[in-house]
Structures are given as structure tokens and as C-alpha cells.
A = this chain, B = another copy of it.
Amino acid sequence: MCQPWVVSNTAKRPPICVLGLGLIGGSLLRAAAAAGYPVYGYNRSVEGARAATADGYDAGTDLAVALTRAAEQDALIVVAVPMPALAHILDRVAEIAPDCALTDVTSVKGAVLDAVTDAGLRARFVGGHPMTGTAHSGWQAGSVSLFQGAPWVLAVDDGVDPQVWMTVMRLALDCGAVVVPARSDEHDAAAAAISHLPHLLAEALSQTAAEVPLAFALAAGSFRDGTRVAGTAPELVRAMCEANATDLLTALDRALDLLIRARQGLATHRSVAELVEAGHAARVRYDSFPRPDLVNVTVGEPGWRDGLAAAGRAGAVIRSALPGPDSLG
């Protein structure tokens, strides 16, 4: 798993200020350091900051100190705190380092964009979401290679600044990820279907099986895979599901509709053919979903955001840095 990677871009690496050193923030601190960025972190709890320091990283528990340093160095600030802490952190950023480039790594993008807008920080903000994670959390669960090969969504919402976008894109690529451009609203609808809905299904499956004698004694691969994400800390699952309630309701209603139809088929004519055949066909399509390289857009050119959103929707990913504003005539 811990393969070395090719640093995709040798352009200047701005200082990175990571706020929150849990699984994602902690992995980002490690990966950015390994890629040669000057990087330091803030963590609310002493334990997390101390663990990072013990592992040789630059980390502390004073938010004002971290943000003052970011403002002085014109750092890229990465917000990696859970949703409930977001508004408070953004208020402090607005107070101390309002002109820094800003990104986040949160699993919902619409709610974050709203909070950023409320804090008056939208001009220099590019939303981000590395699509990775494990059932574990905290600094100790992190890894320098967490982002290797993972899709990292970067928002191309109206008004996103091309220079900031380039900076965050380079960071994501330098951490080993592939970048998927997407609008925040489309991201959230998709995340509901491929991340939040799977969590609810896994929770329901766990509980259903737990009530049946002999079930755990017989549980094997189908159950283990189907409930893996039910091992995630409940507060993390709740935070992402509840922050994306509207889109999750849409996805959940569709899944319920399919399951209720299957139930009727099973009860009335002992057949689940419709669901099973459509589900299998969908999974086969996923297995052969194309992931072409996205190369033909220059960040900052007219229509670049819409062009990137369309390409991302079609499956294209950015594997090496796109040309940006500096390349434009």
C-alpha cells in the first residue's frame, strides 16, 4: 500500500495549514509533508496534536497562532474538522486569515459552501472532498498513503477562483489522488447515492441480522462487506448523512421504492428478477465505467468551470496538473 509516488508538479509549493488532524486532516499533513510542502497543523484536542508532534510533525492546539501564521505566510488553509465545528472555525479564519486560499475535505459540499458564504470567505474558497476513508478515525488511523489513487473532488462552482483552484489541484495530485471536478450540488446528490445511502443500508443490515439467532454464527463475506461501513463511528455517519439530508432522502426513497417492489414480487410470484437483473447490470456498468484522463481544459479559460464539470460527470479524472492562468496568453 505504501508505494512511493511521483510528485506530479514541481511548481512552487505554498505553506499548508491543516485545521483538524483526524483521519483525513492527519493523513493530509503527512502526505503534504512527504510531497515537500511546508506544512503544519492545528488540532483542538491535546492528544491529537501531541500524537502528530510525536510522529515528527509541526502541530499545535492554538487556533489563533496557526491562523496568524497562515495569514503571514499566505498559506493554503485546509479545513478538516467535523461539520459541527465548521462554523466556529470559519469565523476564526474570517477574523484572522480572511485572504488566505481556503479549501476543505468534508464529505458534503453544499452545506460547507453555505457556511463559507455565511462567513464571507467564498472568494478564495474551493471546496474539496477526498473520496477515501476507513472505518477508523483520529490521527492514529491516518496514513501518508491514504489518498493514493483516490478520487479527490474539487468544486467548480460559479465564481471559483482559478488560481486557488490550481493550488488545491496541485496539492491533491501531490498527495497521490486523482482529481474529479464537480459542482457542489451534483457532488452531494452523487455522494448521497454512493456514500450516505450505503451507510444507512449497512446499519439496517447489521441490526436486522443481529436480531436473528445463528446469524452472526454464519455471517461471512456478504454480511461483512455489506456492513463494513456500519463500523464507522456513529457521530461521523450521522454528521455526513444529516448534513446531506435532502439529497439522502431522494436516494433513500429510490432505494426503498426498488426494495418494496422486490418485496411485492417475492411475496406474490416468488421472483426478485427485476431488481436482481437491473442491479447486476448497473454494477457491471460501474465495473467498466471509463476513467479517461482529463487534459483538454486550461483552468481560467472562458467556460472552464462548466467544461470541467461536464468532463467529471462523464468520468474523466485529472491525473497530472492541468495548465492554469499562467499558461493563458
| Contact partners of A133 in chain B: CB under 8 A | 220-222
Chain B residue with Cβ nearest A285: B210
A215/B194 contact (C-beta < 8 A), A208-B251, A225-B225, A266-B252 known: yes
Q: Type the 1/0 row for A270-284, where 1 means its CB is closer than 8 Å to any CB of B.
A: 111101111110111
Tell me whether A2 is interfacial, beta carbon within 8 Å: no
| Contact partners of A252 in chain B: CB under 8 A | 259, 262-263, 266
A280-310 residues at the B interface, CB under 8 angstroms: 280, 282-287, 289
A198-223 residues at the B interface, CB under 8 angstroms: 198-223
A220/B245 contact (C-beta < 8 A), A204-B275, A252-B259, A256-B263 known: no
| Contact partners of A100 in chain B: CB under 8 A | none
Interface residues on A, range: 35 or more
- Distance of A257 from chain B, by nearest CB (Å): 9
The number of times this chain is found in the oligomer is 2
Q: Which label, helix, strand, loop or mixed, suits the secondary structure of the A interface? A: helix
Contact between A259 and B226 (Cβ–Cβ < 8 Å)? no
CA distance A189 to B260 in the complex (A): 20
- Distance of A66 from chain B, by nearest CB (Å): 30
The 7 closest A-B pairs by CB, nearest first: A203-B279, A210-B282, A198-B226, A230-B283, A206-B282, A190-B214, A194-B223
A-B CB contact pairs (8 Å), 21 listed? A186-B214, A190-B209, A190-B218, A193-B211, A194-B218, A195-B218, A195-B223, A197-B208, A198-B226, A200-B262, A201-B205, A201-B259, A203-B276, A206-B278, A206-B282, A207-B275, A217-B289, A222-B229, A238-B272, A241-B266, A252-B262
